[in-house]
Structure 1
Amino acid sequence: MRLYRHLSILLLVSLASYHADAQGCSDAGFCTMGAMKPDQNYSKRIAIKLRSIEFNYYKGTSLLTAVIQAATVDFNLGINDYSSFQIKLPYMWVSGNLGEVAGPGDISLSYTRQLKTYNGWVVNGTLGAKIPTGDSNETVNNEHTGGVDAPIHMYYQPSLGSYDAIAGISALSGKWLFATGIQVALTKNNNQFAWSGFPNYPDTEYLQSHDRGKELKRGIDVMFRVERNWRFTNFNFSLGALPIYRITKDEAIIPGTNERGKLPNTTGLALSVLGSFGYHFDVNNSVKIIKGIKVVDRDFNPDGLTRDEVVSVSYIYKF
């Protein structure tokens, strides 16, 4: 009977997630690394909290037609009672009106250290990096490209094609999580997408809504997270807000020229209101869903990171 109850709850959680309209992290992934992760389990010892393996399925739609899916293995390895190491290995597949692409996503690495405990609060700090698995110049060959290989927009790229540096800090209690972080792209990618690569696409206006950023170097992103968590014996749920602000302009080859420069209108705010639900079968096994609602988005998105609708479902095994 207990097993049946657990399986029923897992099924209900999965079904509820599948139909959710949401927006997750509209950045290059750093808001789910280390101290900046959502729905963290409160513990005064990082090793207890972070010795785990998580299997995650993610599905999201872009502002255009691209549908992004990813399966991720997330290892959290406690080094001692106060520090841990995280590695995330994603595989992504993307389909939309311009074509289909699949491949490994960028590798995320981070080190998290407990910095201080005070009056029921734990302060953690994270340093990390993202390692590209490609140069962000995957191509498609279909009826829209005239039968030749054409580089496809960043919405479709499994890899962002750049080395990124990441840092963050959080303050966590049994009820609240406050976190902030920064992500800096250290290199440009090799994306060569151009409208001219799809000469047979029937809707010129739609094609030109894919903002161009040849050999793009993303601007600096700063994130903030505030989250309220309600915890019970076998389940918990949370509500929160996630503003991400691009504080410097993207750089790329200026369309129509051979010169690199700053792209206009590439700074600004992306804001989501997020919610999560977790169910704990026992001390070792749990499931979690995260969903949200897009509130504010940047108008110009050559990096293809903006999501219009997202759902994330995870199974976590702690050891």
Structure 2
Amino acid sequence: MRHIITLIIALSLALKGYSQGCSDAGFCTMGAMKPDQNYSKRIAIKLRSVELNYYKGTSLLTPIIQAMTVDFTLGINDYSSFQIKLPYQWINGTLGDNAGLGDISLSYTRLLKATNGWNINGTLGAKIPSNDSNAKVSNSNTGNVEAPIHMYYQTSLGSYDAIAGIAAINSKWLFATGIQIALTENNNQFVWSGFAEYPDQDYLRKYNRGIELKRGIDVMLRVERNWRFTNFNFSLGALPIYRITKDESIIPGTNERGKLDGTTGMALSILGSFGYHFDVNNSVKLIKGIKITDRDFNPDGLTRDEVLSISYIYKF
């Protein structure tokens, strides 16, 4: 009964929460940095799985971002695995609608060491853009002329990214850290003047501009406590993500690139998850969280007000 009461409290926190979320930038759910990982005392990782994930996020403004992702994890040998994530996104908001293939995530994870009840795993990966993040809309807000939409509405970040991370995991705890570096800028050309017919110009200017944006470097830390039982588990954790260098873009009205003030800083979330295992092959998982802090300036469109992630996992 004590375990059931604890579970209800933890799940209630998860369902009521709000989250910055990092599903869009991507590296928080890749390889060694994934939440709610399985731990095995065996050295061998022979992990093969396919995960179908539904994601919904509400932004700080009106766009609602949804995605369906197919996440494959394939064991290469007793010590390493390969992961590929293929998302399809659709976005709806007052400025317009957009849908399409999201960025492709690839990662390689290897067991580095297993000792004293802990596994140490390392990951190297990359994100490949599905488009140049300059999709356009034509509606009454644009005077029925095609205009590039803000990054909130784009299905791709539009840049090639390099990713690396490392994690320590045992039967109760997960500690992970990682870094994501945008290697290229995107081609987003959103400007306020493209939506001159939008009736609320004060609201429109809340969309931070970043023409041909190159995101700064992100560093994340995941601390997670997991409680596991026969058929279910739940976890509580913290996920701070710190942008340590400024974003860079073309300054509106000029042809020069410059650093954008307010784009560094920490986005902190408190996260909760619940998983139920039907048998050794089939399980479901829910993840949600509480947003604590945001960065001041967000031209990349990654900030979320609320995030919900529901997954079905088949292991083989």
From 133, 152, 157, the equivalent of 2:154 is 157
Alignment of 1:246 with 2:243, yes or no, is yes
**Counterpart-to-counterpart distance in 1, 2:172 and 2:283:** 19
SS class of match (1:304) = coil
Contact 1:101 1:157 in 2 (8 A): yes
- The answer to whether the aligner puts 1:102 opposite 2:99 as a matched pair is yes
1:123 maps to 120
Question: Aligned pair count?
Answer: 305
Partner of 1:313: 310
Give the counterpart of 2:21 among 20, 25, 40. Answer: 25
The structure-2 alpha-carbon separation of the partners of 1:17 and 1:72, relative to structure 1 and needing over 3 Å to count, comes to farther
What are the within-5 Å matches in structure 2 for residues 12-161 of structure 1? 20-23=16-19, 25-26=21-22, 28-43=25-40, 44-45=42-43, 47-48=45-46, 50-161=47-158
Aligned counterpart, 2:259: 262
Alignment of 1:187-226 (within 5 A): 187-226=184-223
Q: Any idea what SS the aligned residue of 1:161 has? A: coil
Contact 1:123 1:172 in 2 (8 A): yes
Q: Aligned Cα RMSD in Å?
A: 1.7
Q: Secondary structure at the match of 2:203?
A: helix
Cα deviation for residue 24 of structure 1 reads 5.2
CA distance in 2, matches of 1:45, 1:129: 26
Gaps of 5+ in 1: 1-15
Shift in Å, 1:23 = 1.4
Shift of 1:25: 2.5
The secondary structure found in structure 2 opposite 1:162 is: coil
Partner of 1:293: 290
1:303 to 297, 300, 305: 300
Displacement of 1:21 after TM fit? 4.1
In structure 2, the residue corresponding to 1:298 is in which secondary structure? coil
Amino acid at match of 2:21: C
1:258-300 Cα offsets, whole Å, 9 max, x none, are: 1101111110000000000000000000000000000000110
Q: Does 1:275 align with 2:272?
A: yes
1:275 and 1:292 in contact (8 A); partners too: yes
Q: Is 1:170–1:180's contact at 8 Å kept on the other side of the alignment? A: yes
Whether contact under 8 Å (2:171, 2:226) holds in the other structure is: yes
User: TM-score scaled to structure 1, two decimals?
Assistant: 0.93
Which residue in 1 is equivalent to 2:7?
none
What is the TM-score with the length of structure 2 in the denominator? 0.94
Greater than 2 Å deviation, 4+ residue runs: 16-22, 24-27, 44-48
Structure 2 distance, partners of 1:312, 1:290, is 5
Identity over the aligned pairs, expressed in percent?
A: 77
1:256 Cα deviation (Å)?
2.5
What is the aligned partner in structure 1 of residue 6 from structure 2? Answer: none
Measure the CA separation in 2 of the matches of 1:38 and 1:291.
11
